[in-house]
A = this chain, B = another copy of it.
Amino acid sequence: MHLEEKLPQLVNAIEDGLKGYLSAVDFGHSAELGRMLRYHMGWEDGLGGGKRLRPALTLLCAGACGGEVAAAMPAALGVEFVHNFTLIHDDIQDGSPMRHGRPTVWTRWGVAQAVNAGDALFSIAQLALLELRQTCSEAVALWAAREMNQVCLRLIRGQYLDMAFEGDDEVALETYLAMIEGKTAGLIAFCTAVGGMAAGAAAETVTRLGDFGRHLGMAFQIQDDYLGIWGDPAVTGKSAASDLLARKKSLPVLFGLRESADFRALWGVEQPTQAQIDDMADQLAACGAAEYVRQQAETFTQQAFADLERLFPRPNADAQALGALTENLVHRQV
């Protein structure tokens, strides 16, 4: 089965699982809290709530190791709930008014209730994940719970750094890469590793699946940084060089601040015009930032593919789908 057929099936199963799990949670007198979570997950208005890539990776990794979807499903639900807990809190922290085409939870219910809703989803994620004790074993559930909380702690460390960077004039490229490793790649590494674990894979395989996820996550995030400046507005649906407009200290910007006096001067302009934004993007390309970022993404992409080849020298259908999904993610234009 090709990825174009496989992925929608998986995503449907994940969506059903997420809805089923959340609808079984007892919200008692606090029904509105449940509604906030369903709203964030995208089930109140038909607009949807995200691509569910993380749990899809978990299920594909489980399948690639010869495991069953049902055994890995608690892990898939756990990682997607965790991801969404971080999004609810991220939106508060960034002051983001919109996500997936609708007002964010804090915009609609206020900061205090949004903090609380995120906390609820974090607890729900833990409970969902711990159901691995039923579909796999107590040992797998415990391993997953410890690993996920360690990953969350690294993610939260990364979030600390990301916010601290805003007030920081000089951020070393290495520190930035450490930040995105914690904030993005770590959770994706957990998604892939826990899939293998749920399939009963050997420790060595689980470790390499984690490496694959980490490399994929780095490539994914760096590609995101690239598209934030050089993505085609017609394809991304965002304005040209949207990350420059938002003054986001992404990888190309940090490279430009280090390498180009012209870019530094433009970056210092408060409320730049669109012409100045375009100029900034050109200066970045001229000083080698685009090339540097592309190369970084490519390096991690190659590592991810090398991981896959070593993991699955004779790939089954799920391992093939995993390769195709990796290809889509790292070479996407949106």
**Which of A27-35, A242-250, A256-264, A325-333 is the interface stretch?**
A27-35
Q: How many residues of A contact B (CB 8 A)?
A: 49
B116 touches A130 (CB 8 A): no
C-alpha spacing A111/B30, complex, angstroms: 25
Q: Which of A135-171 contact B (CB under 8 A)?
A: 138-139, 141-142, 145-146, 149-150, 152-154, 156-161, 163-164
A123 touches B163 (CB 8 A): no
A17-44 toward B: CB 8 Å interface, digit per residue (1/0)? 0000000010111101100000000000
Name the B residues within 8 Å of A126 (CB-CB): 126, 145, 149
Name the B residues within 8 Å of A115 (CB-CB): 89, 92-93, 115, 118
Chain A at the B interface: mostly helix, strand, loop or mixed?
Answer: helix
Name the B residues within 8 Å of A158 (CB-CB): 30
Name the B residues within 8 Å of A161 (CB-CB): 29-30
Name the B residues within 8 Å of A146 (CB-CB): 127, 130
Q: Does A113 interact with chain B (Cβ within 8 Å)?
A: yes
Q: Does A112 interact with chain B (Cβ within 8 Å)?
A: yes
A113 in contact with B160 given A122-B119, A138-B139, A153-B124 (CB within 8 Å): yes
Name the B residues within 8 Å of A29 (CB-CB): 157, 161, 175, 178-179
A156 in contact with B123 given A130-B142, A130-B146 (CB within 8 Å): yes
Name the B residues within 8 Å of A139 (CB-CB): 138
Q: Does A217 interact with chain B (Cβ within 8 Å)?
A: no
B28 touches A157 (CB 8 A): yes
Q: Does A334 interact with chain B (Cβ within 8 Å)?
A: no
B112 touches A92 (CB 8 A): yes
Lowest 4 A-B CB distances belong to which pairs?
Answer: A93-B112, A30-B157, A30-B160, A33-B160
12 more A-B residue pairs beyond the given contacts A89-B115, A93-B115, with a C-beta to C-beta distance below 8 A = A29-B175, A29-B178, A32-B164, A33-B160, A89-B116, A113-B160, A120-B160, A124-B153, A127-B146, A127-B149, A127-B153, A130-B142
